[in-house]
């Protein structure tokens, strides 16, 4: 799940800044993925791992070096046998004796430019293992980047619907205050007619003051939730949320999510990659017990350099370490034990994933059951309030009964909102655990979904 449409981001920020646009969950995700620094850091890590893999591939290539220089020595390098001439005077070689018997081997001033090439022939599998290890490291970085995206998306779900539930809670609390104010007006009129006691009026005032305090607390929570979502999305102001809290009649089975998790969970995938990386590390250290064989050659152009030296050369080189204080043996043993460690961690991770998925699945199903049970309670509480209000208007019920019914309806609504929030966020956690966060919109946009939004009431 990767969002890269920056032009949409710009349009959204501009619209929200003007306060002329709502913000859907998909749009919030678009903005978050474009601005989140943790996601950017994970992507840079993946790019760096790709470059390291390309670096490892270069080990197969010939290594070519160029050397050049200009040298001014103290003096020429020469052989002078002129002092031997007197010893040869008896010989009939007078013409030769007249020559200068000093031969310059190397002029004191000379220059050169040379190139040498080294090609690996056999390294005991070290290069092959290094390339495989770099490729696995790149895959680990990609998996970590995906895990960061999924974790960020889950956090966005929590903050987005936290703002949604806070907005609905303010609406519910405001509705309670409005109802109590209306009831306060009615009870005051009845008191003036001598049909209500002072105690009844004081009770209504007390519950009204309490409701106003709860509304103030809900408003503070709303402001805090707004700031949290702004921080996550990366903007200063957010308009109305257009994606309401939702819940579904049912979801797939626990076995479905467990199977999905064992295939796609990022933590489990990373552990498996770490195991393969440890395996390649064993091969790299095992290669230390084999000789390294390379083909080599070199040559170049010179100026004022003696012709005695060759202008090029080719050959084969061998390097073998006989003894290094058992360093190779210890490193090889450590690599094998690291592999066994990661192998054990993989088994433990698989067990943890199974347990996590089961726990999240059970919590998700439990919240659905609570939501549907509370819907019946809301229907009863709504009807009961209407009955009490009608009875009060006819003088057959007390103000206390009306107030209690009003507050009870609000409490049940808020509880249902809480469970809907738990369903939406737990579903996000469940999908993150299965490595399928990108399918969240399949659930939130499902035709079978139910929505909760008391802001419009």
- pLDDT per residue of the chain (457 residues) written in tens, 0 to 9: 333 333 233 333 333 443 447 899 999 999 999 999 999 999 999 999 999 999 999 989 999 999 899 999 888 888 888 887 777 766 667 677 777 778 788 888 989 899 999 999 999 999 999 999 999 999 999 999 999 999 999 999 999 999 999 999 999 899 889 988 988 888 888 778 777 788 888 888 998 999 999 999 999 999 999 999 999 998 888 888 999 999 999 999 999 999 999 999 999 999 999 999 999 999 999 999 999 999 999 988 888 888 877 888 899 999 998 888 899 999 999 999 999 999 999 999 999 999 999 999 999 999 999 999 998 999 999 999 899 888 878 877 777 888 888 888 888 999 999 999 999 999 999 999 999 999 999 999 999 999 987 654 4
Structure confidence at residue 92 (pLDDT): 64
DSSP state of 428: H
Tell whether 302 is covered by a domain. Answer: no
3-state secondary structure of 411: helix
Output the pLDDT for position 393. 80
Q: Of 51, 83, 107, which closes a domain? A: 107
Alpha-helix runs per DSSP H in 301-398: 327-393
Is residue 440 situated within a structural domain? yes
Which residues have a Cβ under 8 Å from the Cβ of 443 and sit 6 or more positions away?
246, 248, 251, 427, 449
129 and 173 in a single domain? The answer is yes
Last residue of a domain, one of 83, 107, 131: 107
Q: How many independent structural domains does the chain possess? A: 2
Residue 443, domain member (yes or no) = yes
Q: Are residues 327 and 349 in the same domain?
A: yes
**Inside any domain, residue 254:** yes
Helix (H, G, I), strand (E, B) or coil at 124: coil
Is 112 domain-assigned? no
Identify each DSSP E strand in 287-445 by its residue range: 292-303, 312-319
| 130 and 248 housed in the same domain | yes
Same domain, 426 and 282: yes
Task: Residue 393: name the closest of 212, 249, 190 by CA.
Answer: 190
Same-domain check for residues 92 and 134: no
My answer on whether 19 and 87 are in the same domain is no
pTM: 0.81
The residues that bridge with 90 in the sheet, in sequence order, are none
Asked if residue 17 is part of any domain, the answer here is: yes
pLDDT at 89: 64
Q: For residue 124, is it left (φ>0), alpha (ψ between -120 and 50) or beta?
A: left
Nearest to 454 by CA among 411, 404, 417: 417
Range of the domain at 91: 74-107
Residues 51 and 90 reside in one and the same domain: no
| pLDDT for residue 191 | 78
Say yes or no: 22 and 153 in one domain. yes
Q: What is the CATH number of the domain that holds 225?
A: 1.20.1600.10
Pair (131, 256) in one structural domain? yes
Determine the Cα angle at 29 with ends 424 and 156, to 5°: 45
Examine residue 389 and state whether it is found in any structural domain, yes or no: yes
Asked whether residue 269 is domain-assigned, the answer is yes
What pairing do the DSSP bridges indicate for beta strands 245-247 and 450-452? antiparallel
| CA nearest to 318, candidates 293, 287, 288, 289 | 293
Residues 21 and 144 reside in one and the same domain: yes
Same domain flag for 223 and 95: no
Is 99 found in the same domain as 158? no
Q: What is the pLDDT of residue 455?
A: 59
């Amino acid at each position: 799940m990767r969002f890269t449409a920056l032009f949409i981001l710009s349009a959204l920020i501009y619209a929200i800044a003007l306060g002329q646009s709502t913000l859907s969950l998909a749009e919030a995700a678009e903005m978050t993925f474009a601005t989140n620094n943790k996601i950017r850091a994970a992507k840079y890590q993946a790019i760096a791992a790709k470059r390291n893999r390309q670096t490892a591939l270069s080990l197969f290539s010939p290594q070519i070096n160029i050397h050049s220089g200009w040298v001014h020595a103290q003096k020429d390098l020469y052989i002078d046998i002129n002092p031997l001439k007197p010893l040869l005077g008896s010989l009939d070689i007078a013409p030769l004796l007249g020559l200068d018997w000093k031969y310059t081997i190397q002029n004191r001033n000379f220059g050169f430019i040379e190139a040498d090439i080294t090609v690996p022939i056999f390294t005991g599998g070290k290069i092959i293992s290094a390339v495989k290890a770099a490729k696995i490291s790149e895959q680990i970085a990609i998996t970590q980047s995906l895990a960061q995206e999924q974790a960020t998306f889950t956090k966005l779900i929590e903050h987005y619907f936290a703002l949604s539930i806070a907005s609905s809670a303010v609406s519910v609390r405001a509705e309670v205050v409005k109802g109590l104010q209306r009831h306060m007006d009615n009870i005051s009129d009845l008191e003036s007619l001598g049909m209500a006691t002072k105690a009844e009026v004081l009770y209504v005032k007390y519950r009204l003051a309490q409701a106003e305090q709860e509304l103030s607390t809900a408003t503070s929570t709303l402001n805090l939730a707004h700031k949290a979502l702004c921080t996550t999305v990366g903007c200063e102001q957010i308009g109305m949320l257009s994606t309401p809290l939702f819940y579904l009649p049912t979801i797939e089975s626990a076995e479905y999510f467990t199977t999905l998790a064992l295939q796609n969970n990022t933590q489990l995938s990373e552990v498996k990659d770490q195991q393969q990386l440890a395996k390649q590390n064993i091969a790299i250290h095992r290669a230390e017990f084999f000789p390294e064989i390379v083909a080599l050659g070199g040559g170049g152009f010179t100026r004022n350099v003696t012709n005695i030296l060759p202008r090029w050369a080719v050959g084969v080189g061998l390097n073998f370490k006989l003894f290094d204080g058992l360093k190779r043996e210890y490193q090889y043993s450590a690599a094998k034990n690291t592999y066994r460690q990661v192998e054990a961690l993989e088994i433990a991770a698989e067990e943890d994933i199974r347990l996590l998925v089961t726990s999240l699945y059970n919590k998700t199903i439990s919240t659905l059951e609570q939501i549907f049970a509370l819907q019946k309670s809301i229907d009863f509480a709504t009807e009961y309030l209407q009955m009490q209000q009608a009875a009060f208007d006819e003088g057959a019920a007390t103000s206390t009964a009306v107030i209690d019914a009003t507050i009870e309806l609000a409490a049940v609504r808020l509880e249902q909102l809480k469970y809907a929030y738990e369903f939406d966020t737990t579903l996000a956690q469940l999908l993150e655990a299965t490595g399928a966060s990108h399918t969240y919109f399949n659930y939130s946009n499902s035709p079978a979904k139910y929505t909760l939004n008391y802001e419009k009431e």
